[in-house]
Chain A
């Protein structure tokens, strides 16, 4: 066996593990903390021994369905998403539990306790309990990779989709990980028609449901996936510790540091659902007290229903947020009566994130806010959520919600009278393709009078620049058909459509006002303005545009417009001298701040 040790991020380890296990169909929509899994497969596709289809799908539902059909043909497949992506894929995901799979299928859903970069901290393990899908909770990047092969075997043995649930601290941790040669499976695509299964009507579903429940019973007893016990000493045999996921690893480190390793019986739960009923009965029989540590919801704790449980349900462990080593120490100290750990100072907030210097979204938001100071601004998921720093984002909900929310705002205000506020929706290009198109058609059909600004920076920027359909490039740089935004918007029934670079402040603001006129005309409706300028994180974009590093003249009045309203991180206010200051290390030279200054004190550096 060829093996070598590499420093791999958890997501890279998972991507490597998928290729080693002979996965042949991989589909994902990017989302932190899951994104680098598919990217790692793209980077390593040369290692694959057999054909490998990798795609950035338009959304998670599509990714799941593509992977599902791949499995129907006997090949190994994977769908990858973040936790809220599973909500988008929920419909096919739930039904797949009943219908099953053929070739091994994994769904990798990355949770984000904290949350660090998400709109909630929902627990995929609880989702799996409701969907009746087995779920694996790895404790380290290395373990996440090692469990992929066995998870495919489990999937194939029982013909079920299996979920692997890493969390942010697995996905974005690095570890020394052994890599192996990929497996050669030599499978040709076959599809065995069986409409009573693949197209099961309600008549067949009770039997399939019965079969699923019987299968879950068996899976709960599979030897590979049983909780792993590290026995304690003989001093306190009626007390146990139970943990899963990365929290288990934190607990192991803590016990070592406190000299408490192998004092109490310690269980690592590898598969939080379905739990073996004998394991549950054993804990009831063998222990009076158990400490249960898991992220983020009390999934194991609820299933154990142990009268001596210390956990989230009992209030002994924080019910929200990430379970950090400091919080675990506190919970353990309470549980086994240790001296209380030293107080942890309340977490202090550091620097808040901002749109990058030179970001075209900043220019667009500044103009929107300036043109419509009393407007309502529904926005969406992406870098541009940070438009809230400029006061130009009022709502952020979930992928694609902004257009429907904008329409809902209009309908509600409009029924109170003729005069309605200008609703300016901002949505990124990738988000528009993901879930914006049905919402746009709906807004047009319902005759909503709103302005939709599509912030088109030609990439999925927040997650590191995955391809978008209007650039004609697919995963890994493969050329493909280009699906332009403009004809799509027109086909949705939109009459007013303009395209403008938001760096051109005068023209952009002119078009915004024109759009406002349009929505207020007797025959007006949805107005779409495409704000088009490439993401400045793309070196090609930066190279192609003029660079005007700015300086501040002594005539600056310290009004704070450029630092507050425009909110460029390369500009700050020296409060003592009442002057704006340019951080030349961070200034991108976009020059967008120049027209912002009311006294023309921001000028190009080389100006006299």
Chain B
């Protein structure tokens, strides 16, 4: 099993938690995993990108045109990171507009749940529903329980389930 995933957003949107949840699923399944993340200045609201390489890889970065799946939390990043995706790769996009890729107004769902930052797990739910990602719902819920701050575990699980259930 090999899968290369990118998570794109802006600082403060929960890109790091989403990255860790996906990587944790790999660890729980005993699959080697590598990620790279953006820390530092860019986290102050700037564009951030995580890469996740699941399977037998040595380095964490993804070459242009090699990502199988992209989770896009901030739609304006699409032209910035589009070139990383394979020609037949899949985008799951947080967007209120209709256009290419699998789109869902995850921010709106998250807002209904009480916090816009939950959109990260709404998108993961959609990716699982579409079978675009190597993880199952059970895998993800286990990782979310481990990694989300104790107080917000239920809220995060609800966001994930809403993503899965939204048609």
Instruction: Spell out A's residues near B (CB within 8 Å).
Output: 5-7, 9, 32-33, 116-117, 139-140, 169, 172-176, 246, 248-250, 252-254, 256-257, 324-326, 329, 342, 344-345, 348-356, 383, 385-386, 462-463, 569, 585-586
User: Which residue of chain A has the shortest Cβ distance to B43 in the bound complex?
Assistant: A353
Answer whether residue B100 sits at the interface, using C-beta atoms and an 8 A cutoff. no
- Asked if residues B44 and A7 are in contact (CB atoms below 8 Å), the reply is no
- Asked if residues B36 and A173 are in contact (CB atoms below 8 Å), the reply is yes
**CA–CA, A569 to B43, complex, Å?**
13
Instruction: Spell out B's residues near A (CB within 8 Å).
Output: 10-12, 19-20, 23-24, 26-27, 30, 32-47, 57-66, 74, 76-77, 79-81, 83, 107, 111, 116
Question: What residues of chain A lie closer than 8 Å to B38, measured between beta carbons?
Answer: 116, 172
**CA–CA, A325 to B4, complex, Å?**
14
- Asked if residues B64 and A342 are in contact (CB atoms below 8 Å), the reply is yes
Of the candidates B26, B34, B41, B62, which one forms a contact with A353 in the assembled complex, judged by CB atoms under 8 Å apart?
B41
Question: What residues of chain A lie closer than 8 Å to B61, measured between beta carbons?
Answer: 169, 250, 324-325
- Asked if residues A585 and B116 are in contact (CB atoms below 8 Å), the reply is yes
- Asked if residues B47 and A350 are in contact (CB atoms below 8 Å), the reply is yes
- Asked if residues B64 and A356 are in contact (CB atoms below 8 Å), the reply is no
Question: What residues of chain A lie closer than 8 Å to B24, measured between beta carbons?
Answer: 7
- Asked if residues A353 and B45 are in contact (CB atoms below 8 Å), the reply is yes
- Asked if residues B37 and A174 are in contact (CB atoms below 8 Å), the reply is yes
User: Which residue of chain B has the shortest Cβ distance to A6 in the bound complex?
Assistant: B27
- Asked if residues B39 and A356 are in contact (CB atoms below 8 Å), the reply is no
- Asked if residues A176 and B83 are in contact (CB atoms below 8 Å), the reply is no
Question: What residues of chain A lie closer than 8 Å to B58, measured between beta carbons?
Answer: 139-140, 248-250, 252-253, 256
Selected A-B contacts with CB under 8 Å, 22 pairs: A6-B27, A32-B40, A116-B38, A116-B40, A116-B42, A169-B61, A172-B37, A173-B35, A174-B20, A175-B34, A246-B59, A249-B60, A250-B59, A257-B63, A325-B61, A344-B83, A345-B64, A350-B46, A351-B76, A386-B41, A462-B40, A462-B41
- Expressed in whole angstroms, the minimum distance between the Cβ of A295 and any Cβ of chain B is 12
- Asked if residues B44 and A354 are in contact (CB atoms below 8 Å), the reply is yes
User: Which residue of chain B has the shortest Cβ distance to A254 in the bound complex?
Assistant: B63
Question: What residues of chain B lie closer than 8 Å to A348, measured between beta carbons?
Answer: 79-80
- Asked if residues A174 and B35 are in contact (CB atoms below 8 Å), the reply is yes
- Asked if residues B76 and A350 are in contact (CB atoms below 8 Å), the reply is yes
- Asked if residues A174 and B39 are in contact (CB atoms below 8 Å), the reply is no
User: Which residue of chain A has the shortest Cβ distance to B39 in the bound complex?
Assistant: A172
Of the candidates A174, A356, A462, which one forms a contact with B45 in the assembled complex, judged by CB atoms under 8 Å apart?
A356
Question: What residues of chain B lie closer than 8 Å to A172, measured between beta carbons?
Answer: 36-39
**CA–CA, A235 to B32, complex, Å?**
32
- Expressed in whole angstroms, the minimum distance between the Cβ of B54 and any Cβ of chain A is 10
Of the candidates B12, B44, B62, which one forms a contact with A325 in the assembled complex, judged by CB atoms under 8 Å apart?
B62
- Apart from A172-B36, A257-B63, what are 9 other A-B pairs with CB-CB below 8 Å? A174-B33, A257-B66, A325-B59, A325-B61, A325-B63, A345-B64, A350-B47, A353-B42, A355-B44
Question: What residues of chain A lie closer than 8 Å to B107, measured between beta carbons?
Answer: 585
User: Which residue of chain B has the shortest Cβ distance to A112 in the bound complex?
Assistant: B40
- Asked if residues A176 and B27 are in contact (CB atoms below 8 Å), the reply is yes
User: Which residue of chain A has the shortest Cβ distance to B35 in the bound complex?
Assistant: A174
Of the candidates A9, A176, A353, which one forms a contact with B32 in the assembled complex, judged by CB atoms under 8 Å apart?
A176
**CA–CA, A481 to B24, complex, Å?**
40
- Asked if residues A351 and B63 are in contact (CB atoms below 8 Å), the reply is no
- Asked if residues B44 and A353 are in contact (CB atoms below 8 Å), the reply is yes
Question: What residues of chain B lie closer than 8 Å to A6, measured between beta carbons?
Answer: 27
Of the candidates A173, A354, A356, which one forms a contact with B60 in the assembled complex, judged by CB atoms under 8 Å apart?
A173
Question: What residues of chain A lie closer than 8 Å to B60, measured between beta carbons?
Answer: 169, 173-175, 246, 249
**CA–CA, A50 to B46, complex, Å?**
42
- Expressed in whole angstroms, the minimum distance between the Cβ of B149 and any Cβ of chain A is 11
- Asked if residues B39 and A33 are in contact (CB atoms below 8 Å), the reply is yes
User: Which residue of chain B has the shortest Cβ distance to A325 in the bound complex?
Assistant: B63
User: Which residue of chain A has the shortest Cβ distance to B46 in the bound complex?
Assistant: A353
- Asked if residues B80 and A326 are in contact (CB atoms below 8 Å), the reply is no
- Expressed in whole angstroms, the minimum distance between the Cβ of A605 and any Cβ of chain B is 15
**CA–CA, A136 to B123, complex, Å?**
40
A117/B34 contact (C-beta < 8 A), A174-B20, A585-B107 known: no
- Expressed in whole angstroms, the minimum distance between the Cβ of A460 and any Cβ of chain B is 13
**CA–CA, A220 to B12, complex, Å?**
46
**CA–CA, A6 to B30, complex, Å?**
10
Question: What residues of chain B lie closer than 8 Å to A325, measured between beta carbons?
Answer: 59, 61-63
- Asked if residues B111 and A585 are in contact (CB atoms below 8 Å), the reply is yes
Nearest first, the 5 A-B pairs at minimum CB distance are A350-B47, A117-B40, A353-B46, A249-B59, A32-B40
